[in-house]
Structure 1
Amino acid sequence: MSFFSPFFRNPITDLTGPLVSAQTGLRCADFEMRLMNCYEAYGYPKGMEVCQAYYDDFKECCTREKQMTRVQLIQNERERQAKPEYEKPPAMHAF
């Protein structure tokens, strides 16, 4: 994810700027603010390595990748444990 400012600023870019951020939603707004405050404190190039933990938290909040992986693993385990064990079928031409 890259954060950038527009090439030139005008009232239209000021109005449409928040559409690209996570500040409009309630779920990830705090994570994005912590990340932006860290980038502002260290600068973007140095902040890429210093603020990696904030970036990972923000990315997880937006994508929920770890959460969805965990949910899928739990569902797979439930299916595995709920399957009844059947007897082996008879050998071919055993009748």
Structure 2
Amino acid sequence: MASSPFLKTPLTDLTGCVINHQHYDKCGEFEMNMMDCLEAYGLDRGKKKCADLIADFQECAGMRKQMLRYNAMRLERHRQYLTGEVPKSKHYAEPPRTDAY
């Protein structure tokens, strides 16, 4: 989330927007919605009013839930392999066909 600089100068106005997600197709819309909401309510009230938009943007940028889901699936497959539910030849999923892409 953006924060205001300690000392505001014309230089900080020019370089304040250098780091953002607008160049990435995936998170640009989430960031714009979050920043529009924060601009409308201000930073202090916006943290409460825009909590859902902030959470959506943070999930898009950080992929926390996606990585937790991936890790849980990997651990489950490994557990099945160790307990013998899956044969040794099927420990990993079959790769896609060569011409599948």
* TM-score scaled by length of structure 1: 0.74
Deviations 1:6-45 (A, max 9, x none): 71124x853x444311112111100000001111221221
Kindly name which structure, 1 or 2, has the bigger radius of gyration based on alpha carbons.
Answer: 1
- The one of the two structures with greater contact order (alpha-carbon pairs below 8 A, sep at least 6) is 1
Q: 1:49 to 1:70 in 2, by over 3 A?
A: same
**Aligned position for 2:9:** 8
Q: 1:84 to 1:47 in 2, by over 3 A?
A: closer
Q: Percent identity?
A: 34
Aligned-CA RMSD value: 2.0
Q: Residues 8-47 of structure 1 correspond to what in structure 2 (within 5 A)?
A: 8-10=9-11, 14=14, 16-47=15-46
3-state SS of 1:19 partner: coil
Deviations 1:48-89 (A, max 9, x none): 10001100110111110111011000000011112254xxxx
Give the aligned length: 83
**Aligned position for 1:72:** 71
> Quick one: which amino acid aligns to residue 9 of structure 2?
F
Whole-Å separation in 1 of the counterparts to 2:9 and 2:21: 22
- Structure 1 unaligned spans of 5+: 86-95
